[in-house]
């Protein structure tokens, strides 16, 4: 049985391992800090799952397939287990007419996704605690919602190991060769993955799904192509006894022009407000994860405007997450140019978590030769100058 090593136990890695196991392949997962760890782009408690992507139908299709798979994974949970999925809806909140939101509506309808248009009056009726001032037409994806990120990644990794996959916690040394480039091109394969202690694991193929660590492992190839950035999220405590901010009355939301997104109060953690604007560079290993006061103020200002009852809410938790951005925001999923059995999977660019199931299915298909490379994900098309187009 072919043995595939997946380096990285984030959402792309564990779903890739899931579909490789479903194809009856032997799988080892390696991660330096553990599945869903706080340093990773798959860390933190929750992530929005939406299908809207402006005119980008490829991401709408990926998101819709992922939504199906997220629901299937939730359906397997026992009643006493903590939920992984919450269908609270996702609300787009443009401050005025927005061509991107208009294109999103059309793409959703074309692809058979549920969508509702809400004017200011409809917004007030649906969400009376939301200040809809300045919103001409909001867009609601009622079938979408929130996946519990850290919990889901760990649950999937546990399921994999219970089903025969191997998990190893260790740092990995990137493939290196003393051969010349010409000689390396003739060999074109790696046979082992080397761990930090010098031990080796045999492999028929290797998937590097390392998120913000990809440019550290492959600096000559990916340095500058993937740029890890600091992204602050803030949790605000809800008023005592107030149920309006839970998922039954508050959806997840997106305000792209403000660079703000948010989630309702889940598991009693508070209302989550995230800054989507790209932050400063971050080293995923060594940099401190302390939120800056400017980002906290920015999050509070938005929250106070749209949810006045939360204006004086206390900050009860903050996180600094890592985006790993490509130049446009497109994923990087491609074969290593020098190793025919090495695959590079990353470039989630802040919107990738929701797509984990579809990405894993796609990568497993590449390895088993049952699908073709999507040109938008290819390494050859990636630049180093930010021109973000996919959100």
The CATH number assigned to the domain holding 178 equals: 3.50.50.60
Residues 205 and 123 in one domain: no
Write down the pLDDT at residue 182. Answer: 43
For the purposes of burial, counting CB atoms within 10 Å of the CB of 325, is it exposed (0-12), middle (13-18) or buried (19 or more)?
Answer: buried
Three-state SS sequence of the chain: CCEEEEECCCHHHHHHHHHHHHCCCEEEEEECCCCCCCCCCCCCCEEEECCCECECHHHHHHHHHHHHHHHHHHHCCCCCCCCCEECCCEEECCCCCCHHHHHHHHHHHHCCCCCEEECHHHHHHHCCCCCCCCCCCEEEECCCEEEEHHHHHHHHHHHHHHCCCEEEECCEECCCCCCCHHHHHHHCCCCEEEECCCCEEECCEEEECCHHHHHHHCHHHHECCEEEEEEEEEEECCCCCCCCCCCCCCCEEEEHHHCEEEECCCCCCCEEEEECCCCCECCCCCCCCCCCHHHHHHHHHHHHHHCHHHCCCCEEEEEEEEEEECCCCCCEEEECCCCCCEEEEECCCCCCHHHHHHHHHHHHHHHCCCCCCCHHHCHHHCCCCCCCCCC
* Tens-digit pLDDT string for the chain (391 aa): 899 999 999 999 999 999 999 999 999 999 999 999 999 999 999 999 999 999 999 999 999 999 999 999 999 999 999 999 999 999 999 988 899 999 999 999 999 999 999 998 999 999 999 999 999 899 999 999 999 999 999 999 999 999 999 999 999 998 864 334 444 444 588 899 999 999 999 999 999 999 999 999 999 999 999 999 999 999 999 999 999 999 999 999 999 999 999 999 999 999 999 999 999 999 999 999 999 999 999 999 999 999 999 999 999 999 999 999 999 999 999 999 999 999 999 999 999 999 999 999 999 999 998 888 899 999 998 999 999 989 8
Question: Number of folded domains in the chain?
Answer: 2
Q: Which of 282, 309, 325 is the last residue of a domain?
A: 325
pLDDT at site 236: 98
Do the domain assignments include residue 177? yes
In a domain, 143, yes or no: yes
Residue 340 lies in a domain: yes
Residue 181 counted as domain residue: yes
The answer as to whether 61 is a domain residue is no
The answer to whether residues 187 and 318 belong to one domain is no
pLDDT of 174: 84
Q: Are residues 297 and 368 in the same domain?
A: no
Residue 352 lies in a domain: yes
Q: Please tell me the distance from the alpha carbon of residue 212 to that of residue 298, in angstroms, as a whole number.
A: 25
Alpha-carbon span 243 to 178, nearest angstrom? 62
Task: Please identify, among 277, 304, 325, the residue that sits at the C-terminal boundary of a domain.
Answer: 325
| pLDDT given for residue 187 in this prediction | 56
Cβ neighbours, 10 Å, residue 342: 23
Q: Do 10 and 25 share a domain, yes or no?
A: yes
Q: Specify if 365 maps to a domain.
A: yes
The reply to whether 236 and 317 lie within a common domain is yes
**343 in the same domain as 278:** no
- For residue 372, the model assigns a pLDDT of 84
CA angle at residue 342 from 336 to 348, to 5 degrees? 70
Same domain as 247, residue 137: yes
- Do 158 and 267 lie in a common domain? no
Looking at residue 86, which CATH number applies to its domain?
A: 3.30.9.10
Domain that holds residue 111: 66-148+227-325
Residues 141, 75 share a domain:
yes
Same domain, 159 and 217: yes
Whether 22 and 140 map to the same domain: the answer is no
Tell me which of 307, 325, 343 is where a domain ends: 325
Please tell me whether residues 196 and 278 are part of one structural domain. no
21 within domain boundaries: yes
Q: How many CA atoms lie within 13 A of 174 on its CB side?
A: 18
Alpha carbon 257 to chain centroid distance? 20
């Amino acid at each position: 049985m072919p043995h595939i090593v997946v380096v990285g136990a984030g959402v792309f890695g564990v779903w890739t391992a899931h579909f490789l196991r479903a194809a009856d392949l032997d799988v080892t997962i390696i991660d330096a800090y553990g599945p869903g760890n706080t340093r990773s782009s798959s860390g933190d408690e929750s992530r929005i799952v939406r299908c809207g992507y402006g005119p980008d139908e490829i991401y709408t299709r990926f998101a819709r397939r992922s939504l199906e798979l997220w629901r299937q994974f939730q359906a397997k949970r026992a009643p006493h287990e903590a939920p992984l999925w919450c269908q609270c809806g996702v609300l787009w909140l443009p401050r005025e007419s927005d061509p991107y939101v208009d294109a999103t509506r059309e793409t959703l309808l074309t692809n058979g996704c549920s969508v509702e248009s809400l004017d200011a009056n409809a917004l007030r009726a649906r969400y009376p605690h939301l200040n809809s001032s300045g919103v001409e037409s909001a867009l609601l994806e009622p079938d979408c919602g929130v996946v519990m990120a850290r919990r889901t990644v760990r649950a999937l990794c546990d399921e994999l190991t219970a089903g025969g996959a191997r998990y190893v916690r260790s740092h990995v040394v990137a493939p290196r060769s003393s051969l010349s480039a010409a000689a390396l091109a003739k060999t074109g394969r790696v046979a082992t993955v080397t761990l930090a202690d010098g031990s080796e694991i045999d492999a028929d193929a290797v998937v590097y799904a390392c998120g913000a660590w990809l440019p550290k492992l492959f600096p000559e190839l990916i340095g500058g192509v993937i740029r890890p950035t600091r992204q602050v999220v803030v949790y605000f405590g809800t008023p005592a006894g107030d149920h309006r901010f839970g998922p039954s009355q508050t959806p997840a939301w997106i305000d792209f022009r403000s660079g703000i997104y948010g989630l309702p109060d889940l598991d009693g953690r508070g209302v989550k407000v995230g800054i989507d604007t790209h932050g400063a560079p971050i080293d995923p290993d060594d940099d401190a994860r302390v939120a800056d006061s400017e980002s906290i103020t920015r999050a509070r200002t938005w929250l106070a405007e749209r949810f006045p009852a939360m204006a004086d809410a206390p900050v009860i938790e903050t996180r600094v997450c890592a985006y790993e951005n490509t130049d446009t925001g497109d994923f990087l999923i491609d074969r290593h140019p020098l190793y025919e059995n090495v695959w590079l999977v990353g470039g989630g660019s802040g919107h990738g978590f929701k797509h984990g199931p579809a990405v894993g299915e796609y990568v497993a298909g590449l390895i088993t030769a049952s699908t073709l490379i999507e040109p938008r994900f290819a390494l050859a098309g990636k630049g180093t100058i930010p021109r973000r187009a996919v959100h």
